[in-house]
Chain A
Amino acid sequence: MHDEEFRSRGVTRRTILAGLSATAALSLVPRGAAAAEGKEAPQLAAMVKDGKLPPLAERLPPKPMVVTPLEKVGTYGGSLRRGLRGSSDHNGILRMVGNQSLVRWNMEFTEVLPNLAERWEVSADATIFTFHLIPGVKWSDGHPFTADDVVFAIEDCVKNTELYSSTPAQLAVAGKPVLVEKIDDQTVKFTFAAPNALYLENLATPLGQHPTLFAKHYCSKFLPKYNSNLDADVKAAGVSSWTELFRAKCGDIEIPSRWSNPEKPVLDPWVVKEPYSGGATRVVMERNPYFWQVDTEGNQLPYIDELNFGISQDVESLMLNVISGKIDIQERHISVLANKPTLSQNMQKGDYRLLSLVPSAAQQCQIYLNMTHKDPAMRKMFADKSFRQALSLGVNRQEIIDIVYFGQSEPYQTGPRPGHPWYHEKLARQFTEFDPDQANALLDKAGFDKKGQNGMRLRPDGQPVFFAIDVIPTLYPDLVDTLELVKSHWAEIGIDMKVNTIERALYYTRGDDNAHDAAVWPGPGGLDPMLDPRDYFAFHPQGSRYAIPWTLWYTSNGAKGEEPPESQKKRFKLFDEARSTADIDKRGAIMKQLFDLAADEFETVGICLAVGGFGIIRNNLRNVPEKEPDSWSWPNPGPALPQQFTFTS
């Protein structure tokens, strides 16, 4: 298990996940190595010769960003095949291509590195961020990328209330949107209304791509401010409003139409050739001739000519493509543990090797008992800490791990993963032992000592102790198996539970309406405790399912929802404090206090540490890390820089 590796190492923030980069980590050497001698792909060279494209030196920045290939300097050519699902799978493209933000994550998911911004300064109170862009970078149509584009993207697009009725959360602090100003062509200043120490980390996640998403010279054509003739264009395009036209042409971070307009200038290594649209059976992207990164020998990236995303309606047919060797790299959709035997058996036939994913999640199966239940008696029962303790002690975790997870996990509550510098022993391990006797004793003491005719316990008001746990079988079949085992364990201590398998939209609606007794979900926050702390306090209006009304109170500054208990309020304060603390050690100390409080309250019941997934890499595809974090915030495989992936044959 990878976590063994984590534990054997030191616990500084820099070395968590050191196990990930078995070979050397990707790093950036000082710019300007041998850029002037740069080489380019043969197709591009031919186009230059025919006069269809300016020479390489005019397309690259004077000092392009240099990427050190993971294993070796690659060779140009090849078409990389990967699979998408029929619908709403646009993020499958984003993860591979669209990670060209101002900054990016390092391979270990621990540090933010320069990307389109070559350096930056942060004011001491973390309110002002000044970014210096790499001079001479060009959009995929050859137009220069400058500070004007960044200012345009935020001030004219994202802050346009007709386009975005509310500013994306990342760009608004204390209820006020950020102010972006141009200092000179290469310098932009972001000013927040309050400290926002996590901004760089947020900027490295996919939701941080807004500043580099919209090219001013192109997208301004679809804004009323810049185009007086827009009404006519809207009519001609056959859409009903200019905002629709803007989205169809320029897209947004997370909508399919981001990948449906081949004309849209981008800063990505590949540009759309055959778009992702409703009727598409595949998406093809070709190299961006103006891509602004080179390898250590000055060769322009990317190495691979073309990306070919086949669209499968059905995951089984995707699996067939994988085992018959028709996919070059894939972990999306096929990464569940149940597929591992099939994938391992066919390694020779499909000529691939396995890629292992380190989950960023903490918990495989987090049980959220609704402590703000609408029924006062249920609320009282779930809010009773000894009731929750008894339930936790009544679960035979080892049995679940052996049967459902093939022994690949360990009993766990929640908290940063073992080996993480913020690992919290009590939060992670309390009440994980299997002790039915103590569970029974706790339940008797808490007033659930009478039993009904069926041998199940009764509440003090005489009603049977019974509740349903919502789970989505199509999404997480393993959680259904886990819950069935939990149900049998709890029956032994006289607790009657129903595994409530429901459709996923209903699951969400029940949560939004606070109509659920309890629900399960994989608990995040293992490697990204600051980005998604939903299990440490009522943080996420859809995810913190043990107390959604409390989260509403928090996110609306007390205007909506329900006032939470003191311990939660203290944690809100601590988190806000951590969020505005730039110093990472001080931030860790604050988070430790928060974890102490969370451990004392014991709000969620966890089963076991989140289990890692799998993927495949074809044997002739090199420069790919064989182990990488699996996270939305670290949108694998993007931060491993697919532009330096290369084929050996």
Chain B
Amino acid sequence: MLKFIVKRLLWMIPSLFAVSFLAFVLIQLPPGDYVTTYIATLAASNEIIDQNTAASLRERFGLGDPLLIQYFKWIWGIITEGDFGISFEWQQPVSGLIWERMALTLILAVASLLATWAIALPIGVYSAVRKYSIGDYMFTAFSFLGLSIPSFLLALVLMYIAAVEFGQDVGGLFSPQYETAPWSLAKMADLLAHLWLPVIILAVSSTASLIRVMRANMLDELPKPYVTTARAKGLSEFRLLTKYPMRIALNPFISTIAWLLPNLISGSVVVAIVLNLPTAAPLLLQALMAQDMYLAGAFVLLICALTLIGSLISDILLALVDPRIRLE
């Protein structure tokens, strides 16, 4: 086991280099550079930047250098000093910008994950055990409805209702008075009061597919002989379900942990933008759109690192949970 983990960790190093280089190239691929996009953004409001200033911006950011040199300058800074560079747009160190938003991102992602699982697991099990019952059909219908409504649309509709009909504060994760206040119990309560809306919206879309997965897996397991045996031995139905078939059926949930971690950052972009959530996702999108290379590059690097770590975690967990899986 230990050998496996060490081997996997060592493999991550070259993968990260390859991926970071690809990411850097991809970010640079669209035509123009940060200064072009910057000028274009200003022009969108009919605002003008001085021509001479634009030229000196380009020089200052080293945008004239060849791509390889820009990449090596960047990666060298990360390796030697842990310096992810400066965000062009904000003139702030990239690392500060990223960590600032990660805590809330984590809270939101974990909360919606828990909500999704809390809804999907019991319903999936119920639908499988009571196959083709009225309850099964109802849950199926609702879950497909949830799957088919785009989450941004749901977000907009719920926001409209909350804002216009009930005069509620919408958007953001805090009331104005807590936005910059230090953490306290009152601020936690305020966060919880705002968190339910994005959590519901994010959970609705992912619940449906998980219900189907859970139902299908359970249906695979239920007719198997070991279930019949256990039942014949007089195990209570609940104990039986949770002890054996559910454990096997959980397999896909665990193997998706690898996607879960990167999803923290990039999974909820559209919803986060519509709902104006101060998570990492909108910042990543902005950085990509503005061709703010170092900021976007750092995000992509972080996402890749999280994917690699995530797949390691799910492999280890799978080995622990599913007795059929061996690492060798």
Closest Cβ neighbor of A633 among chain B residues: B48
- A168 touching B50 by the CB < 8 A rule? yes
A residues 250-271 in Cβ contact with B at 8 Å: 252, 254-257, 260
Distance of A378 from chain B, by nearest CB (Å): 21
In chain B, what residue has the closest Cβ to A258?
B91
Query: CB-CB < 8 A to B189: which residues of A?
Result: none
Q: Does B160 contact A (CB under 8 A)?
A: yes
Q: Are B37 and A281 interface neighbours, CB within 8 A?
A: no
Which of A21-29, A445-453, A501-509, A596-604 is the interface stretch?
A501-509
B267 within 8 A of A: no
Instruction: Judge whether B283 and A169 touch: CB under 8 Å.
Output: no
A248 in the interface, Cβ–Cβ < 8 Å? yes
A87-B286 in contact given A314-B273, A505-B36 (Cβ < 8 Å): yes
Taking the complex as formed, is A316 at the interface, i.e. its CB lies under 8 A from any CB of chain B? yes
A 149-166 binary contact with B (CB < 8 Å = 1; else 0): 000000000000000111
Q: Mark B165-197, 1 if CB is under 8 A from A, else 0.
A: 001011110101001100000000000000000
Provided the pairs A240-B86, A324-B164 are in contact, do residues A506 and B172 lie with their beta carbons within 8 angstroms?
A: no
- Closest Cβ neighbor of A311 among chain B residues: B276
Contact of A88 among B89, B167, B282, B283 (CB under 8 A): B89
B90 interface residue per 8 A CB criterion? yes
Whether A243 contacts B48 by the Cβ 8 Å rule is no
- Chain A residue nearest to B163 in the complex (CB): A324
Contact (Cβ within 8 A) A274 B180: yes
Residues B31 and A168 in contact, CB atoms below 8 Å apart: no
Q: Are A503 and B159 in contact (CB under 8 A)?
A: no
Measured between beta carbons, the chain B residues less than 8 angstroms from A166 are 52-53, 55-56
A323 vs B165: C-alpha distance in the bound complex, in angstroms?
11
B46 within 8 A of A: yes
Q: How far is the CA of A475 from the CA of B32 in the complex (A)?
A: 17
Q: Which residues of B in the span 16-31 have a Cβ within 8 Å of any Cβ on A?
A: 30-31
Is A101 located at the chain interface by the 8 A CB criterion? Answer: no
**B52 pairs with A308, CB closer than 8 A:** no
Is A91 part of the contact surface with B, judged by Cβ < 8 Å? yes
Residues of the B chain whose Cβ atoms lie less than 8 Å from the Cβ of A324: 163-164, 167
Q: B92-100, B107-115, B127-135, B206-214: which one contacts chain A?
A: B92-100
Chain A residues closer than 8 Å to B42, beta-carbon distance: 88, 91, 254
Taking the complex as formed, is A279 at the interface, i.e. its CB lies under 8 A from any CB of chain B? yes
Cβ-based interface call for B60 (8 A): yes
Indicate if B301 sits at the interface (CB-CB under 8 A): no
Size class of A's contact patch?
35 or more
Q: A281-B276, A503-B30, A505-B32 are in contact. Are A256 and B89 (CB under 8 A)?
A: yes
How far is A274 from B97 in the complex, measured between Cα atoms in Å?
A: 15
Tell me, yes or no, whether A433 is within 8 Å of chain B by CB.
no
Asked, given contacts A278-B89, A279-B101, A505-B37, whether A320 binds B53 with beta carbons under 8 Å apart, the answer is no
CB proximity of A383 to chain B, nearest CB, Å: 26
Kindly list chain B residues whose C-beta atoms are within 8 Å of the C-beta of A308.
176
Residues of B within 8 A of A509 (CB): 31-32, 36
- Known A165-B56, A505-B37; judge A279-B283 contact (CB<8 A): yes
Cα separation A148 to B102 with both chains bound (whole Å): 45
Docked complex Cα distance between A555 and B55 (Å): 14
Contacts of B180 in A (CB 8 A): 274
Contact A317 B30 (CB under 8 A): no
B119-151 interface bits toward A, Cβ cutoff 8 Å, 1 = contact, 0 = none: 000000000000000000000000000000000
Asked if residues A314 and B276 are in contact (CB atoms below 8 Å), the reply is: yes
The answer for the CA separation of A166 and B40 in the assembled complex, in Å, is 21
Q: How far is the CB of A561 from chain B (nearest CB, A)?
A: 14
- A541 at interface (Cβ–Cβ under 8 A)? yes
Closest beta carbon of chain B to A555's beta carbon, Å = 8
| Cross-chain contact B49 with A254 (CB below 8 angstroms) | yes
Task: Tell yes or no: A395 within 8 A of B by CB.
Answer: no
Say whether A87 contacts B276, CB under 8 Å. Answer: no
Query: Which residues from 456 to 483 on chain A have a C-beta closer than 8 Å to any C-beta of chain B?
Result: 475
Is A244's CB under 8 angstroms from B164's CB?
no
What residues on B are CB-neighbors of A503 within 8 Å?
A: 30
- Whether the Cβ atoms of B160 and A320 lie closer than 8 Å is yes
* Interface bits A166-177 vs B (CB < 8 Å: 1, else 0): 111110100000
B49 contacts which chain A residues (CB < 8 A)? Answer: 254
Asked whether A426 is an interface residue with its Cβ less than 8 Å from the other chain, the reply is no
Q: In chain B, what residue has the closest Cβ to A252?
A: B53
Q: Which of B30, B49, B272, B276 has the most CB of A within 10 A?
A: B276
Q: How far is the CA of A419 from the CA of B285 in the complex (A)?
A: 45
B164 touching A323, Cβ below 8 Å: yes
Complex contact B48–A87 (CB within 8 A) = no
- Interface contact B278-A281, CB-CB below 8 Å: yes
| Minimum CB–CB distance for B210 against chain A, Å | 28
Please report the C-alpha to C-alpha distance between residue A207 and residue B164 in the assembled complex, in whole angstroms: 40
Decide if B69 is an interface residue (CB 8 Å cutoff): no
CA distance A278 to B90 in the complex (A): 6
Task: Choose from B31, B51, B272, B286 the contact partner of A505 (Cβ within 8 Å).
Answer: B31
Which A residue sits closest to B289, measured CB to CB?
A87
Question: What is the CB-to-nearest-CB distance from B92 to chain A, in angstroms, rounded to a whole number?
Answer: 6
Q: Give the distance in Å from the alpha carbon of A261 to the alpha carbon of B64 in the complex.
A: 29
Cα(A256)–Cα(B272), bound, Å: 22
Cβ contact within 8 Å between B52 and A168 = yes
Docked CA distance A168–B52 (Å): 6
CA distance in complex: A413, B21 (Å): 50
In the complex formed, the residue of A with least CB distance to B31 is A509
Which residues in B have their C-beta under 8 angstroms from that of A206?
A: 47
Q: A166-B55, A277-B92 given as contacts; is B32 within 8 A of A313 (CB)? A: no
Interface bits A506-529 vs B (CB < 8 Å: 1, else 0): 111110100000000010100000
Interface string of B272-295 (1 = CB under 8 A from A): 111110100011001001110001
- Could you say which residues of chain B place their CB within 8 Å of the CB of A240? 86
Shortest beta-carbon distance, B29 to chain A, in Å?
11
Nearest CB of B to A467, in Å = 20
Q: Which of B46-78 contact A (CB under 8 A)?
A: 46-53, 55-56, 59-60
B residues bordering A, Cβ < 8 Å?
30-32, 36-53, 55-56, 59-60, 83, 86-87, 89-93, 97, 100-101, 156, 159-160, 163-164, 167, 169-172, 174, 176, 179-180, 272-276, 278, 282-283, 286, 289-291, 295
Closest 5 CB pairs of A and B: A505-B32, A165-B56, A279-B100, A166-B52, A87-B286
Q: What would 20 A/B residue contacts be, using CB atoms closer than 8 Å? A: A91-B45, A165-B56, A168-B53, A238-B83, A247-B91, A248-B91, A254-B53, A257-B90, A274-B180, A281-B276, A281-B278, A312-B276, A317-B159, A317-B171, A320-B160, A324-B164, A324-B167, A505-B30, A509-B31, A512-B36
Given A349-B164, A508-B36, 7 further pairs, Cβ under 8 A: A279-B283, A282-B176, A505-B30, A506-B32, A509-B31, A509-B32, A512-B36
